């Protein structure tokens, strides 16, 4: 099975590169630093080898969501002062966030493609002492190469949805051997752990730690910034639709038009998951007054939609809005992080497609901290209801905040589980 997997990689690789080039027509970053994906690096990317003898920890976070979830862990590791961090991502948006949040405090390159010769070259160049993989980004050849070099690999904040488990199950023996190469799996929920064990992870290597996404911290400066921003908006109601996807924005815009009939002057803050789609999303907002975030134009009482075409500001807009809708859920994408608006004490809405966050959504619903809507009509009705009954909106927001606070502590459990692998105990 591994031989077939490698053969498929070889066949697919030219098409993967072609896809990157095609995507680069709208987002040039996709064709930049492409050599890194084949483990060829600039002198600057390798300069660390001569600058420090501290052991290197490799942390892989596929994109923005995984990186932001890892950020508190990264800060703890950096604060130790006894190791260096190499962070790999797959997407340019993830790369941009690493550079924006951490800059020169860490090393960053794109993750290598999962072919043995490419992985071998990567490990030879960087020589990490430990691999931390965020959530579900598991690659058979990377894990096998690490095990062959006695390099521990730990899955952090691991999750395995029922849909993903079905996909891995089709790989048969390859999935089993891949999970046998994992040194430790620190997962979010019991259901995630059970699926991983069913797929081949040894039971003794499993630990349920909870989700580190609950350990998000809001700085006082960010609180002040959100309040200042909200005070600048004269609208009676501001709602944010966050991390939206194709096929979803049409429903959100339709919901906002309905809402404005009941709440004149309402403002929609629309945050596409991928900012490079902003032109496409803008075209959906016909006959509406739209301000783009990147234009730095003022949002006035006449503004219907603020289109956020920038990166890294989602928490700011969650804090400034009155109500939050978490996207990727009105279409079959699987949803996104429901905790981020909850920690602000905002009432949270989601569509029905939350299979990537199924347990979190179920628990929040049971705690009356999440309202699920099926379509644009239901979305508009729910927001209008909360506008008419602010006490009900505040009560749900408070329940969401209480739910988030009750689930804190995963980060400390993760750090305790990682202690045997960290440099001073290796």
Catalytic residue among 66, 135, 249, 340: 66
CA 169 from chain centre, in angstroms, equals 24
What pairs with residue 242 in β-bridges? 271, 326
- Could you tell me if 408 and 215 are in contact, meaning their C-beta atoms sit under 8 angstroms apart? yes
In whole angstroms, give the CA distance from residue 246 to residue 280.
9
- DSSP 3-state of 297: coil
Exposed/middle/buried for residue 367 (C-beta within 10 Å: 0-12, 13-18, 19+): middle
CA distances from 388 to 122, 263, 382, 401 (A): 57, 9, 10, 22
Quick one: angle between helices 173-180 and 190-199, nearest 10? 120
Which helix (DSSP H) or strand (DSSP E) does residue 324 occupy?
strand 323-326
Active site residue 137: no
HSE toward the beta carbon, residue 304, CA cutoff 13 A: 19
Among residues 369, 375, 368, the alpha carbon closest in space to that of 353 is found at: 375
d(CA 51, CA 42): 15
Identify whether the C-beta of residue 67 lies closer than 8 Å to the C-beta of residue 94.
yes
Determine whether 49 is exposed, middle or buried from the number of CB atoms within 10 Å of its CB (0-12, 13-18, 19+): exposed
Strand bridging mode 290-292 / 323-326: unpaired
Compute the distance between CA of residue 110 and CA of residue 107 in angstroms, rounded to an integer: 11
List active site positions.
66
């Amino acid at each position: 099975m591994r031989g077939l997997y490698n053969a498929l990689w070889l066949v697919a690789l030219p098409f993967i590169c072609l896809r990157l080039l095609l995507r680069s027509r709208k987002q040039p970053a996709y064709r930049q630093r492409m050599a890194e994906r084949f483990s060829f690096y600039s002198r600057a990317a390798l300069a660390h080898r001569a600058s420090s003898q501290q052991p290197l920890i490799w942390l892989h976070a596929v994109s923005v969501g995984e990186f932001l979830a890892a950020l508190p862990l990264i800060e703890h590791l950096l604060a130790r002062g006894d190791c260096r961090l190499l962070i790999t991502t797959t997407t340019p948006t993830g790369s941009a966030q690493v550079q924006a949040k951490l800059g020169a405090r860490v090393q960053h390159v794109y993750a290598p493609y999962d072919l043995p010769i490419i992985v071998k070259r990567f490990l030879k160049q960087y020589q990490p002492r430990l691999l931390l993989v965020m959530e579900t980004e598991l690659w058979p050849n990377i894990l096998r190469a690490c095990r062959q070099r006695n390099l521990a690999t730990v899955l952090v904040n691991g999750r395995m949805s029922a849909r993903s488990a079905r996909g891995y199950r089709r790989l048969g023996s390859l999935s089993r051997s891949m999970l046998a190469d994992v040194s430790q799996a620190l997962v979010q929920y019991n259901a995630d752990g059970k699926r991983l064990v069913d797929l081949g992870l040894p039971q003794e290597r499993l630990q349920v730690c909870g989700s580190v996404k609950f350990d998000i911290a809001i700085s006082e400066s960010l609180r002040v910034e959100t309040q200042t921003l909200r005070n600048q908006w004269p609208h009676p109601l501001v709602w944010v639709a966050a991390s939206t996807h194709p096929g979803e924005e049409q429903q959100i815009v339709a919901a906002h038009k309905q809402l404005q009939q009941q709440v004149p002057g309402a403002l929609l803050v629309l945050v596409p998951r991928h900012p490079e789609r902003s032109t496409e999303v803008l075209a959906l907002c016909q006959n509406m007054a739209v301000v783009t975030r990147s234009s730095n134009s003022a949002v006035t009482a006449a503004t219907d939609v603020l289109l956020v075409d920038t990166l890294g500001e989602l928490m700011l807009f969650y804090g400034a809005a009155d109500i939050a809708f978490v996207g990727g859920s009105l279409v079959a994408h699987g949803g996104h992080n429901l905790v981020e608006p909850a920690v602000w004490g905002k009432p949270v809405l989601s569509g029905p497609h939350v299979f990537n966050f199924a347990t979190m959504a179920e628990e929040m619903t049971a705690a009356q901290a999440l309202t699920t809507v099926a379509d644009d009509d239901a979305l508009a009705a729910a927001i209008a209801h909360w506008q008419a009954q602010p006490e009900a909106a505040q009560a749900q927001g408070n329940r969401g905040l209480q739910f988030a606070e009750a689930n804190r502590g995963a980060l400390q459990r993760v750090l305790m589980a990682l202690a045997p692998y960290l440099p001073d105990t290796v």
